[in-house]
Amino acid sequence: MRSLKKRIIARRAPHFRILYDFDQTDLQTYIEWFNGSAAELDATMETPYPKPISPTQTRIGWIGIGVMGAAMAERLLSAGYSLTVYARNPSKATPLTSRGAHLVDSPRAVARRSDVVFTMVGHPSDVRSVVLEKEGGILSGLNPGGVMVDTTSSHPGLAREIFSAARKKDCWAVDSPVSGGDVGARDGKLAILAGGDQGVVEWLSPLFELMGRVTYMGGPGCGQSSKIGNQIVVGANLLGLSEGLVFAELAGLDARQWMQTIRGGAAGSKVIELFGERMIMKDFRPGGFAEYMVKDMGMGIDVVEGGEEDETTAVLPGAALGKQLFSAMVANGDGHLGTQGLISVIDRINGR
């Protein structure tokens, strides 16, 4: 083969590129060299807890790349972290793989290639399957010192179960559901409510800081309990804003002017900032699905998905009403609309 001047770019991760200029007469020689270097690189790119986290060494896994998960994973990828992803629908991974993320075929495969694995799935049953399944779950593949971080809104009892299972494998688990919707996920301004070992949560700070502001809420399950309380407040705010907007319109007011006026007073809220304009424009594209509010508020008023009985369960009439109204959205076929679509239920009640 005639000797040719070549430039070869070997891409191992979005932040790691090696450039070589050489006269190549035997491609096989290069391949053998590169495979050996790749093995050495995999060995050095490993930072299990408590080794410091860094973009050049820490391997991140992500499972669940819907509206929220994809935006959160994108921020880690943009910061230069090596990212391995799993998606039940592989086509959803294309925006991430086009930027250097590696797609694998199971949660176990993600765990085997990662020091930290994040999950953002739908229901507690999904969390249980993805994390605890004996043959293909995260804990079946996570190496000692590895950390799994569940950002799903799930059941506190399940979070405690996962924490115990992880410790038996010399791994760690953190429950850290988030609040802030799709806008907060894209902008890195989520409220992150973390439960588990405080030292592990602090160790994860470089990753959490890319997604928002983390607050340590207590031991295993406390992050999930905090998120349930958050959803109770968000649900009440969405209901209040829905009824206020419908009332304003029926009273002959300019709904947008009314909303802009009250947002500076005691009625102002993050819900108005995130969802007010969308509700006026009937823009119900999801940041979070309405059906998930049924699940989240349900966990506050009863035991819904195999969790343990909790003697501290409170009587919450407002949350119970909110759950009923979000359930009405689901019954109307609108469960996959955004939570701001709650106004559609109030419109229907008023014959609009």
- Which residues form the catalytic set? 227
What 3-state DSSP class applies to 169? coil
Token representation of residue 312: 């501290």
Neighbour-count burial for 234-266, b at 16+ CB within 10 Å, e otherwise:
bbbbbbebbebbbebbeeeeebeebbeebeeee
Token representation of residue 62: 């992500």
Token representation of residue 242: 């829905």
Token representation of residue 192: 């992150």
Q: How many CB atoms are located within 10 Å of the residue 11 CB?
A: 9
Instruction: Please return the burial class of 191, using the count of CB atoms within 10 Å of its CB with bins 0-12, 13-18 and 19+.
Output: middle
Nearest CA-CA partner of 326 in 289, 351, 300: 289
Question: What does each C-alpha distance from 29 to 10, 16, 21, 24, 41 come to in angstroms?
Answer: 15, 22, 15, 9, 19
Nearest-angstrom CA–CA distance, 214 and 206: 10
Question: Residue 232: which residues within 8 A CB-CB, separation 6 or more?
Answer: 297, 300, 316, 318, 319, 322
Nearest CA-CA partner of 336 in 284, 280, 297: 284
